[in-house]
Amino acid sequence: MKSIKDEIQEKIAAAFEAAGYEKELAVVVVSNRPDLCQYQCNGAMAGAKKYKCAPIKIATEVVEKCKELYGDSYFSLIDAVMPGFINISIKDSALVEHLVEVAADPRFGVRLDEKDNVVIDYGGANVAKPLHVGHLRSAVIGESVKRIKNYMGH
């Protein structure tokens, strides 16, 4: 199952591609200005030099393509702002739909790309010295890490 950020990134990548730009430019991050939007993309800034045009022009084209492709069914806000950022907020209904999918999954959306072997060295008190609480702490942390990794499928 994809994260909400990955879903947004796929949609923005499709819009970049539809606008005639590389989809690799569509890197979506959580906004560092939550008062403006939830997510942002500065791929237009990165593509400006390569495509030799203003970043705001690229951002505007991508936003228009995104609105054509998805209408207002997914994004509550998608806007191009100077100098070439794309501000993105998703609708509450899209978030609720994603949360329902996560809640229905027995692993709550956690998926492994491939299974790995993980070696955890966490035990072993020195038999020549007295036991103390540090030995117990190490064993508890190790056992917890082991259980978390098992739950994740390792």
Pair 32, 77 in one domain: yes
Pair 90, 119 in one domain: no
Long-range contacts of 100-106 (CB under 8 A, 24+ apart): 101/1, 102/1, 105/1
User: Rounded distance, CA 88 to CA 111, Å?
Assistant: 26
Cα 8–Cα 12–Cα 18 angle in degrees, nearest 5: 150
The predicted model scores a pTM of: 0.68
Angle at which helices 4-18 and 55-70 cross, to 10°: 110
Pair 64, 119 in one domain: no
- For the stretch 35-88, pLDDT in tens is 888 899 888 888 888 888 888 988 898 889 888 888 888 888 888 888 988 898
Domain containing 120 equals 113-154
